[in-house]
Amino acid sequence: MASDEFYGIIGRSPAMQRLFRLIGKLAEDEGSTVLIQGESGTGKELVAKAIHAHSARSEHHFVPVNCAAIPDDLLESELFGYTKGAFTGATGPKIGRIEYANGGSLFLDEIGDMKPVLQAKLLRVLQEREFEPVGGLKPIPVDVRVIAATHCNLEQMVADGRFREDLYYRLNVIPLSIPPLRERIEDIPLLIDYFVRFVGKTKKNPLLGFEQAAVQTLVNLPWRGNVRELENLVQHMTILHGGAMVRYHDLPEKYRTAPIGGEGERNAQQWLDDDGSRPEQLLLFSSSAPPPPAPTEAWPEQGIDFNALVNDFETQLIVQALKLTQGNKKEAARLLNLKRTTLLEKIKKKELFASWEEDEEEELR
């Protein structure tokens, strides 16, 4: 049976299960260089750690270096170390991270930001398995596995003359691509549950979870920040709603009004008119209003909260109708096929945005 977790990486989708198997194979061949590619927030360092932890090098150091976070004039000495007197202030020798990683793994994150002179020195490490510290004359042998990562297109950078071609091919011995979150949406509920538990361990009032309507809304978002963005959202919700369930209208507005993406966007194509435009009714659902579960869809063992789902679904429809009509309640009522007074009563009962109801209070009395 496939595992949902692999060295701290969460996922049961086919794409992630393939990734877990590939990590296992890469770990067995513990000498080859690995190039991890993926968008920001997909978990490139987690994958690098998993490769190291699953390999024979796990007894030695895993040394991460963010090439974009360290200034260029310091990165060389951080990587290669220096000898006494190599520069002003070098009162003694210092080993670099390459030497510290000897026998283990060196993780070079954002390798695309490394300047050309350091690219040349790194190439020597990969080719000759040796390096010279800053100010040193004698090469020092080193046994280290280099795992590089980037969100950039290195092949395009090579074509543009911004990255050494020979280093690119040395790094790209075994390429590994991490899928973005929007391409593995079946993992989103699993990740939400994991982060709720993980974040809750350090809180006095942990979240009880996310209601189904809120989860369904999050499933259909494009997630430009990927897993890191989702984790940050759970932390945000824990601070604001600790001790409770997160409902649809508890989500920050950007998540309730963001365009759908990934699988949700592909599913929405079936509702397009023949001319490619969206019918008026579809716009009400542009914030991923949760559809009823399909007959073949797995339901939670404990069942669902029918009233809460219906309430959240109704709230989404009202909010979207008001947004579509820029707060015009008469027009929103027409889109929803409701009486205007009925809509006003629902807005007040649900305590929706005050600016939409302040001019209607007297009518409701």
The DSSP output letter for 251 is S
Domain boundaries, the chain: 5-179, 185-364
Q: Between residues 329 and 303, which one has the greater pLDDT?
A: 329
Please tell me what DSSP assigns to residue 290: P
Helix, strand or coil, per DSSP, at residue 273: coil
Residue 300 buriedness (CB in 10 A; 0-12 / 13-18 / 19+): exposed
Q: Of 230, 280, 288, whose CA–CA distance to 257 is shortest?
A: 288
Tell which CATH classification among 3.30.365.10, 3.40.50.261, 3.40.50.1000, 3.40.50.300 matches the domain 5-179. 3.40.50.300
Backbone angles phi, psi at 44, to 5 degrees: -65, -40
131 phi and psi, to 5 degrees? -155, 165
223 and 181 in contact (C-beta within 8 Å)? yes
pLDDT tier at 353 (50, 70, 90 boundaries)? low
Please give the structure tokens belonging to residue 338. 């409701």
185-364 maps to CATH 1.10.8.60: yes
Task: Say what the pLDDT of residue 72 is.
Answer: 85
Q: Is 220 exposed, middle or buried (0-12, 13-18, 19+ CB in 10 A)?
A: buried
Give the single-character DSSP code of 355: G
pTM of the complete model beyond 0.85: no
pLDDT for the residue numbered 312? 76
Q: Is 26 helix (H, G, I), strand (E, B) or coil?
A: helix
Contact 133, 86 (CB under 8 A): yes
Strands 130-131, 140-141: pairing is: antiparallel
Least confident residue range of 15-19, 202-206, 275-279: 275-279
CA 48 → CA 8, 52, 76, 177, 231, distances in Å? 11, 6, 22, 12, 19
Confidence of residue 219 (pLDDT cuts 50, 70, 90): very high
Nearest CA to 51 out of 68, 69, 33 is that of 33
